[in-house]
Homo-oligomer: A and B are copies of this chain.
Amino acid sequence: MAVYTEISDEELTDFVARYDIGTLQSAKGIAEGVENSNFLLHTTKSPFILTLYEKRTSESDLPFFLGLMEHLAAHGLSCPVPVHARDGSVLHRLADRPAAMVTFLEGMDVKRPQAAHCGQVGMALAQMHEAGADFSMTRPNALSVEGWSALADQAGARADTVSEGLGTLIADELELMASRWPKDLPRGVIHADLFPDNVFFIGGELSGLIDFYFACTDAYAYDIAICLNAWCFEADDSFNVTKGRALLSGYNKVRSLEEEEAQALPLLARGASLRFLLTRLVDWLDGPQDALVKPKDPREYLKRLRFHQHAVSAADYGYGG
């Protein structure tokens, strides 16, 4: 949770007047997202989310993220839609930060996802991949293999203070990934961070996806691998193959997985767990000492990585079952 920036009522009222969205009635800083400041606004017309982008989101990437959300919504995906101001633009400045207004997406994230949720997430992920297929902008994935090496260097020998032998394990994994990471899988825009807090449900039905601020151009199957890590492990770090099967078959209903994608799943899932292990490790070691954002334990992903090390085929994740 995070609300970093305070805005005065006058600033907000003036800012809202730049849009044709009615008159501002209220604005509440909400405990959502760890990267940016978010405000839930009520106007005389409807609710909106105002986001102020704090320094961890690169300003030069914002046209990609906002353009993507608009493109996905126009192609039928349920997600927040950037609102154009009267001057036509979606990206503005407020309180000395980049700022954007998006429509409010009703729904709640699930704290304890069940297989039925996983099935819907798989379908929505595939819908996102299809909806984004003709999006014209691209953005390299800064958190792919090369990015992981940089993170490993940053953690360095300190990795072993978190878990004994972790430094060696990371080095070995990086070497494996550098030699075996697939380069020719079907690719396009991926969400790259579709964790349970970024998927909303109402009454058990998926209502939409949020938080596209890690979206990038990469292999579709890698996005699936991230979801397997994010949705299908239990609190005791065991993999729930029923959830994996639901997620994969949900995905497959909308977009058929190609054979090479299915074959790559164990390696992709292993890479995805390494990616979250490394970002959590660096946040753990070097993150801001700010009680507002409690760093997540990297060891959770170490356990998942160990599961993926022993997976031999997509069947281990419930594929084709």
A interface residue numbers (CB < 8 A to B): 1, 3, 6, 8-10, 12-13, 23-32, 40, 42, 47, 104-112, 200-203, 290-292
Among residues of B, the one whose C-beta sits closest to the C-beta of A30 is B28
**Residues of chain B with a CB closer than 8 A to A3's CB:** 1, 31
Do A201 and B9 touch (CB < 8 A)? yes
Do B203 and A12 touch (CB < 8 A)? no
**Residues of chain B with a CB closer than 8 A to A6's CB:** 111
- Given A3-B1, A47-B42, the answer on whether A25 and B112 have CB atoms closer than 8 Å is no
A138 to B290, CA, bound (A): 42
A128 to B91, CA, bound (A): 43
Residue in A12, A32, A42 with the greatest tally of chain B CB atoms within 10 Å: A42
- Given A29-B30, A200-B26, the answer on whether A9 and B110 have CB atoms closer than 8 Å is yes
Among residues of B, the one whose C-beta sits closest to the C-beta of A12 is B108
**Residues of chain B with a CB closer than 8 A to A112's CB:** 8, 10
CB distance from A280 to the nearest CB of B (A): 20
**Residues of chain B with a CB closer than 8 A to A290's CB:** 291
Q: Which 9 residue pairs of A and B lie closest in terms of their CB atoms, listed nearest first?
A: A29-B31, A291-B291, A25-B106, A8-B111, A28-B30, A9-B108, A3-B31, A26-B106, A9-B110
- Given A9-B109, A292-B291, A292-B292, the answer on whether A40 and B28 have CB atoms closer than 8 Å is yes
A125 to B112, CA, bound (A): 46
Among residues of B, the one whose C-beta sits closest to the C-beta of A7 is B111
**Residues of chain B with a CB closer than 8 A to A104's CB:** 26
- Given A9-B110, A12-B108, A291-B291, the answer on whether A203 and B23 have CB atoms closer than 8 Å is yes
Among residues of B, the one whose C-beta sits closest to the C-beta of A8 is B111
**Residues of chain B with a CB closer than 8 A to A25's CB:** 106-107, 202
A176 to B165, CA, bound (A): 68
Do B26 and A1 touch (CB < 8 A)? no
CB distance from A172 to the nearest CB of B (A): 37
Among residues of B, the one whose C-beta sits closest to the C-beta of A109 is B9
Do B111 and A42 touch (CB < 8 A)? no
A180 to B10, CA, bound (A): 42
Do B27 and A28 touch (CB < 8 A)? no
- Given A1-B3, A31-B3, A203-B13, the answer on whether A107 and B26 have CB atoms closer than 8 Å is yes
CB distance from A103 to the nearest CB of B (A): 13
A25 to B203, CA, bound (A): 8
- Given A9-B109, A9-B110, A291-B291, the answer on whether A1 and B23 have CB atoms closer than 8 Å is no
Among residues of B, the one whose C-beta sits closest to the C-beta of A203 is B23
A65 to B203, CA, bound (A): 33
CB distance from A60 to the nearest CB of B (A): 29
Do A24 and B108 touch (CB < 8 A)? yes
A26 to B48, CA, bound (A): 13
A282 to B69, CA, bound (A): 49
Do A106 and B42 touch (CB < 8 A)? yes
Query: 8 A-B pairs, CB-CB below 8 angstroms?
Result: A6-B111, A9-B108, A10-B111, A13-B108, A26-B200, A28-B40, A29-B30, A42-B106
